[in-house]
Each structure stands twice: as C-alpha cells, then as structure tokens.
Structure 1
Amino acid sequence: MKKFILLAAITVFGVATSNAQTAKKTAKKADAPAKVETPKVDGAGMVFENETIDYGTIQHNADGKREFVFVNNGNKPLTIESTQGSCGCTVPTKPEKPIQPGEKGVIGVKYATDRVGAFTKTVTVKSNATGQETKVLTIKGTVLPDAPAEGATPVKS
C-alpha cells in the first residue's frame, strides 16, 4: 500500500512539473518582442526610428548635437527638400544626396544649450515622401544653470 501511494505521488509530481515547464516555455515565447516590419510604400517613403529626441537634463553649454535616423521604406529615391527649426536655437541639417530605397538617412539637429531651462522645439522636414511630404519632429529637455563656483558666496537680495 505504501509503495502504491508513493508511486502515485511521484506520478502526480512528475506530471505537474512537466506541465509547469511547458507553461513556462510558452510564456517565454509570448514575452519575446515581435520584430516589427517596416511597411513598404509605392514611391519614396520615410520612417523614423524616433520622432522625438529627449535630451533629458543636461549641463549648461553641453553638446547639443543629436540625430534623427530614418529609412526610405519606398521603392523610389527619397529627397529631403528642406529642414527648418522652430526657432534660431534649433539648427537642423539634412542629407544632400537622395536616400535610395532601403537605405538609412540622418537629419542632424543642434540645440543651443547656452539657454537655461526646459525646452520643447520642433524640426519641420519637407520631402518627396509619399503621403507625408511634411513631417514634424520634436526635441525636448532641460538645460541646468551653471553650478556656483567653489568657495563663492551666494548673493542675497
């Protein structure tokens, strides 16, 4: 009788462990991120890796250069006609040559980090992309003021 109970317990334990491992494998497969395919377009196309660049919190006069990376997901060359910052503190640059189908391109942007405080600015991109001739990209962040010099006494008003 003891052998029978022991055999039944081992069988139940084995089946339960086996099912738990199968469920765990299934859960791992479901958790894996699906690879996103870039949809193809007829004509020139433009798909950005990120349409917003967050500088985060940066030091006063830090390097303000960043890049928007995109791919031409069309079947014709993509030409960036112009890039325009929303103010003089945001200076974008564009690729001079057409971006061939499947190739990556870069739109550079430089923010003037000599201006202290929070900022949100835009870059308007004009191109021959099918259905999105004008695209608005965003940069944002906060520029910290300079730290007081060591040994300096704060001025009281």
Structure 2
Amino acid sequence: MKKQFLMLAAVAAIAFTSCKEEKAADKVNEENVSEVAERDANAEGTPKMTFAEEMHDFGTINEGDVVEHTFKFTNTGDAPLVISNAKGSCGCTVPSWPKEPIAPGAEGEMTVKFNSRNKPNNQMKTVRITTNTESGQEMIKIQAFVNPAAAADGAAAPAAESHEGHTHS
C-alpha cells in the first residue's frame, strides 16, 4: 500500500511540475512586436492590378472546343505585385500567370483556357486571383455560348435503335 501511495504521489508531483500552462501571448517577445509594427509602418505603397478588360466573351463555340484568352494587366500601384495563386470556378477553366513580381508600372499577362467538353449552353466562369493587393483577391470572367454536341453535329444520336432486335430474359 505504501508503494502505491508513493507511486501516486510521484506521478502527481511530475504532472503538476511539468504541465505549466503557457499562454501564446506570454511567448510573444515585445521586441519582435515593435519591430513588426515599425516594418509595417515603413512599408512602401500597395500594388494595384488593373486589367485592360475584366471579362471576355468567346461568343458561340462548339461543345468540345478548347479556347483561350490572354488578359493583359498593369500594376498601377506603387509596390511590386505578386500573384500567389489563380483558380478557375471549375476544372474546365485553367489560368496561367507570371510567377515573378510585377514592378510598379509594368505589365503582365494571365492566360485562361476554357474546355467546353460537357458544358453545353450558356457558360460564365470566373478566375479568382490571390494577390498582395489591398483587397487580397482580384477576379476576371469568361463567357461563351456552347452549342451542344448533338446540335453541332446536326443530328441527335438514336438511342432507341440500339436496343432493337435484342431480347432480355
């Protein structure tokens, strides 16, 4: 019984001495806080992404066509523009963008490919661009009217004929 009591006392002592709760705020170094505040106060300017056009209409295309458009933009801000990501609203819309910073006053291009496979009728897609601009996110759009494959071929596939002459048991 004495051994169990001593064992319990030892475990309790270790638990109480090793489980000091440190709050994250206690770990923040005051020197680092002032350094970051000073750096942010001295940060020069903000980049601004200005597109020549924010929307492109491909017009009427046929289902299965892959089309692309290049959006031209200028950094009209006063700091380098960095694009960290760009993502289409679905897998059929794929953007590509410059990976290096765009200097103030410099121009850049973003190409957007649209695959109309299995996308009949009116299509409106967006590309969300993650940047270091003030808003942190920019957006461009594409649209097209996609002629369905059957309409583009001029005839619908006869589904009922494929089962003629077959019996099911």
Smaller-chain TM-score bracket: 0.5 to 0.7
1:109 pairs with one of 83, 107, 112: 112
- CA-to-aligned-CA distance 1:94-136 (integer Å, 9 cap, x gap): 211111111111111111122222111111011012x231112
**Structure 2 residue aligned with 1:46:** 49
Taking structure 1 as the reference length, what is the TM-score of the superposition? 0.64
User: What RMSD, in angstroms, separates the aligned Cα atoms of the two structures?
Assistant: 2.4
1:125 pairs with one of 119, 129, 150: 129
**Structure 2 residue aligned with 1:66:** 69
Q: Which aligned pairs between 1:10-49 and structure 2 lie closer than 5 A?
A: 42-49=45-52
CA distance in 2, matches of 1:154, 1:90: 28
CA distance in 2, matches of 1:94, 1:153: 40
1:117 to 1:46, Cα distance in 2 relative to 1, 3 A: same
**Structure 1 residue aligned with 2:147:** 144
Tell me the SS of whatever aligns to 1:58.
Answer: strand
Tell me the SS of whatever aligns to 1:64.
Answer: strand
**Structure 2 residue aligned with 1:82:** 85
Q: CA deviation at 1:154?
A: 7.5
**Structure 2 residue aligned with 1:25:** none
Whether 1:56 aligns to 2:59 is yes
CA distance in 2, matches of 1:153, 1:62: 19
Q: CA deviation at 1:138?
A: 1.3
Identity among equivalent positions (%) equals 35
Structure 1 residue runs without a partner (length 5+): 1-41
CA distance in 2, matches of 1:77, 1:127: 11
Flag as ranges the 4+ runs of structure 1 deviating above 4 A.
Answer: 152-157
More helix per residue: 2
Taking structure 2 as the reference length, what is the TM-score of the superposition? 0.60
Greater gyration radius = 2
